[in-house]
Amino acid sequence: MESIRLSFQAVMPIFILMLLGYFIKKTKLADKKSLNVINKLIFKIFLPVLLFYNIYSTKTSDVFDVWLVVYTVVGILFIFVLGYFSVMLLTKDNAKRGVMLQGFFRANYAILGVPLVNYICGDKTSGLASLMVVVVIPMFNVLAVIALERFRKGNSKLDILKLLKGVITNPLIIGCIIGLLFFVLDIKLPAIIEKSVKDVASIATPLAIIVLGSVFEFSDIKGYFRENVIVVVSRLVIVPLIIIPVAVWLGFTGEALACLLVIFATPIAVSSLAMTQQMDGDEVLATQVIVISSAVCLVTLFLWIFVLNFMGLF
As a whole number, mean pLDDT of residues 235-260 equals: 93
Mean predicted confidence (pLDDT) in 231-249: 95
Alpha-carbon Rg of the chain, whole angstroms?
19
**Torsion angle in degrees (nearest 10) through CA of 204, 209, 215, 220:** 140
157, exposed or middle or buried, with CB in 10 Å at 0-12, 13-18, 19+?
exposed
Report pLDDT digits (tens) over 180-201. Answer: 888 888 889 999 999 999 999 8
* Residue 159 pLDDT: 64
For residues 22 and 35, is the Cβ–Cβ distance under 8 A? no
Q: Are 116 and 10 in contact (CB under 8 A)?
A: yes
Query: Residue 49 and residue 74: Cα distance in Å, rounded?
Result: 27
Distance CA 262, CA 264 (A): 6
Determine the pLDDT at residue 134.
80
pLDDT at 184: 82
Q: Is the C-alpha dihedral spanning 224, 275, 52, 46 positive or negative? A: negative
Q: Report whether 210 contacts 24 (CB < 8 A).
A: yes
Percent of the chain with pLDDT over 90: 26
At 126, the pLDDT band (50, 70, 90 cuts) reads low
Distance of CA 254 to the CA centre of its chain: 22
Rounded to 10 deg, the angle between the 283-310 and 191-215 helix axes is: 110
Helix (H) or strand (E) holding 241: helix 239-249
Q: Which domains, and CATH codes, for the chain?
A: 2-310 (1.20.1530.20)
**Lowest-confidence range among 23-32, 95-104, 164-173, 259-268?**
164-173
